[in-house]
Amino acid sequence: MEKILIVDDEPSMRDLLSILLGRAGYLVTAVEDGEDAIAQIGKEIFDVVITDMKMPKVGGLDVLKAVKKASPETVVLVVTAFASTGSAVEAMKCGAYHYLTKPFQIDEVQLIIRNALEKRRLSTENMLLKREMASQSSFAQIVGTSDAMQKVFELVRKVADATSNVLICGESGTGKELVARAIHFHSGRCNMPFVTVNCSAMPETLLESELFGHMKGSFTGAVSNKPGLFEVASGGTVFLDEIGDTTPAIQVKLLRVIQEREFRRVGGTKDVKVDVRVIAATNRDLEKAVAEGDFREDLYYRLDVIPIHLPPLRMRAGDIPILAQHFLEHFACASGKPAPTLTPEAVRVLVGHEWRGNVRELENLIERVVAIGSGPTVTDEDLREWLHRPAAAPSGNGAMPADLPPEGLDLEDLIGRIEKDLLLKALERSKWVKKKAARLLGLNSRSFRYRLEKYSIKGGQD
């Protein structure tokens, strides 16, 4: 609900505007002089201020200047019974949106307010669009045909229209923000803002101001009132990326806004109500962080209403050729080049790589290859020149590490990585003839095919 401040020393004018604008659905505050108005401006951020020009002590021009200094985005309408060209010009120079002469039609005032708020809304949406375009990944959509990704797509479709909070977990570079965007744009909030916040990119004080806003003078450098991103996103979705990196103080404030749907700006004295859906993401094990006291348990359970786990790229090897070709076409189009194709040997090199940086690492590699290459195909040699070497298999007899690390390990993940690595090595050595590869590993054909499907390894001949 938009907030309007009315400033007029005539009680009848204050009452008339308060009643009519209140009936129109606005939240109205009315004061009788400029001093009270400036005090209110220091406590609250108003969407619109309607001020009389001629008032005792502090006039409308001073109110206008105070508003624009404290809250530049606030729309100010100046009203006067003693119109003059000079005063009108001065008011517009100081930032007034409109200059009205008494008596005026209330319908005219309501139309001006609606137009001004619509203009401001469009300006805010434009700012958010630029922010999102600057922050979003260069790949435009989620790509994948593996069973793991199909499960993710299905879950996104199921939860998109829910109001529950979502926690997306996965390694860096797996596409957590893309999934968050997909949830938002398939939901009933799709026409409202989608605001991303990288919680690991800012120190605590700056992050608090970014999330919740601040009042002028609340800290050094706070030269004007500023709405927070929770306020800007009201009606839409806030995506809290790398939520696991937040400090205990920020976690307390996030818990409150998620539970109560309200918060208080830095330096503010009033609570601000918001309607937002929260989607959070992390590459950390939050259950472990909770157990170790690094993350609030109550906040974790508030966020983890709908968990979505994104598999690392190495666990969906069948998607690698599809993703690579997608990126080839994307970057070739952006460069004005025809899209090259991958040779079979190049595909095998890509599938055999470990991809510690996940989809982002693959994207960067393909961008580099497209920028430098000029031929109709991408060969294994083109890739090997830039591709980082895969990590060596654990020491020992190939089935277990030489020793158990002090911090422990994920046995199933370790065995899976070893098994996949050996499958790929056997395929490489047998030139991707499956029967020969199976014999190298002492497996029958059925068991070998089962393991290939388990790790989404495709290609080769029987």
Q: Are residues 281 and 373 located together in one domain of the fold? A: no
Query: Within a domain: residue 212?
Result: yes
* pLDDT in the model for residue 264: 92
Residue 136 pLDDT > 60, yes or no? Answer: no
- Asked if residue 329 and residue 275 are part of one domain, the reply reads no
Confidence of residue 290 (pLDDT cuts 50, 70, 90): very high
Mean pLDDT of 235-246: 94
Residues 319 and 422 in one domain: yes
CA proximity to 146, closest of 375, 351, 363, 443: 351
| CA dist 365 → 144, 360, 369, 395, 450 (Å) | 18, 9, 6, 29, 30
Q: At how many degrees (to 10) do helices 11-23 and 106-135 cross?
A: 60
Note the pLDDT tens digit of each residue in 51-94: 998 888 898 999 999 999 888 889 999 988 876 777 888 888 89
Question: Residue 320: which H helix or E strand, with range?
Answer: helix 320-335
Give yes or no: residues 205 and 337 share one domain: no
Structural domain that includes position 83: 3-123
Asked whether the predicted pLDDT for residue 430 surpasses 90, the reply is no
pLDDT band at residue 460 using 50, 70 and 90 as cut-offs:
low
Round to whole Å and give the CA distance between 129 and 192: 11
Which of 257, 282, 311 is a domain's end point? 311
- pTM of the predicted structure, to 2 decimals: 0.62
In a domain, 48, yes or no: yes
Q: Are residues 445 and 333 in the same domain?
A: yes
Q: How far is it, in rounded angstroms, from Cα 214 to Cα 211?
A: 9
Q: Is residue 131 part of a domain?
A: no
Is there a single domain that holds both residue 241 and residue 347? no
Domain check: are 90 and 152 in the same one?
A: no
Question: Worst-scoring range by mean pLDDT, 26-30, 127-131, 146-150?
Answer: 127-131
Total count of domains within the chain:
3
The H-assigned helical ranges of 26-175 are 34-43, 60-70, 85-93, 106-135, 147-159
Per cent of the chain over pLDDT 70 is 91
Lowest mean pLDDT among 182-191, 238-247, 302-311: 182-191
Please indicate, yes or no, whether residues 299 and 366 belong to a single structural domain of this protein.
no
Instruction: Look up the CATH number of the domain holding residue 148.
Output: 3.40.50.300
Same domain for 301 and 152? yes
Q: Over range 304-333, report the average pLDDT.
A: 92
Say what the alpha-carbon torsion angle 283, 178, 322, 154 is, to the nearest 10 degrees: 90
Q: Are residues 157 and 82 in the same domain?
A: no
Q: Is a pLDDT exceeding 60 seen at residue 373?
A: yes
Q: Are residues 253 and 324 in the same domain?
A: no
pLDDT at res. 250: 95
Q: Identify whether residues 80 and 207 lie together within a single domain.
A: no
Number of helices and strands in the chain (H, E): 19, 16
Instruction: Considering only CA atoms, give the Rg of the chain.
Output: 30
Local confidence band at 400 (pLDDT 50, 70, 90 cut-offs): very low
pLDDT attached to residue 405: 62
Q: 157-174: per-residue pLDDT in tens?
A: 999 989 999 999 999 999
What torsion do the CA atoms of 360, 364, 365, 368 make, to the nearest 10 degrees?
170
Query: Of 311, 329, 355, at which residue does a domain stop?
Result: 311
The CATH number assigned to the domain holding 106 equals 3.40.50.2300
pLDDT score, position 439? 87
Give the domain CATH number at 341. Answer: 1.10.8.60
More confident site: 416 or 214: 214
The per-residue pLDDT of the chain, averaged, comes to: 86
**How far apart (Å, rounded) are the C-alpha atoms in residues 278 and 239?**
6
pLDDT score at 390:
42
The predicted model gives 218-239 an average pLDDT of: 89
